[in-house]
Structure 1
């Protein structure tokens, strides 16, 4: 039982995932700081409250006014897109290029999958199979 667990932990995918989580958390902290302290104040200069996070849209209700925190939502979307862009351009793209170079160096040729049959070809094959299963009179 412990051997299976050790094999699972030492498998490349688990270690790669752990490294990705740690690096992703570090990048997230950096990108969040940049977005909250640089991008949001720039955008905040364009909103009525002067601070993107504090921008709310008041909606009058029956008994009270509801304040929708549109600025916090926009800020979260900007933060997500910034983190995704950093992870993509600083991690995914270089790793894909590295894998391509490694495959080229090793002479690995990616096989392309054969084209899927068209709908007409599939229907003709089904027709022929059904016809072959019918007893001849």
Structure 2
């Protein structure tokens, strides 16, 4: 890696020297070589990686033409949409591993759909966009 990199790249170059850490440096260098050669980059995401708000990172990378294709599961798309629509209404459940069946039921009765340690309020997320998604789906079906 060259020395005109950002702080994270400099940190990785200095400390990621052995075993799997060194493999990350090699992968970053390969990615840089791909971009410099004009090749296109595909990023594949399996599972719900959007909980780390990777969309914010990828949006910037796409704008800078550093990622041209993103292939992801529906879970990523769904969570990105829910995050955009209802993030300020999410409810954290720090003790989610200790919930009883009654605790789970109480959350559900409040319209809180739990995903691990976070509840997404059904009315603020799913129901708010439902009619729009159904319309898009129906329009797509009609065009088949």
Task: Normalising by structure 2, report the TM-score.
Answer: 0.29
Task: Normalising by structure 1, report the TM-score.
Answer: 0.30
Q: Indicate the structure (1 or 2) with the bigger Cα radius of gyration.
A: 1
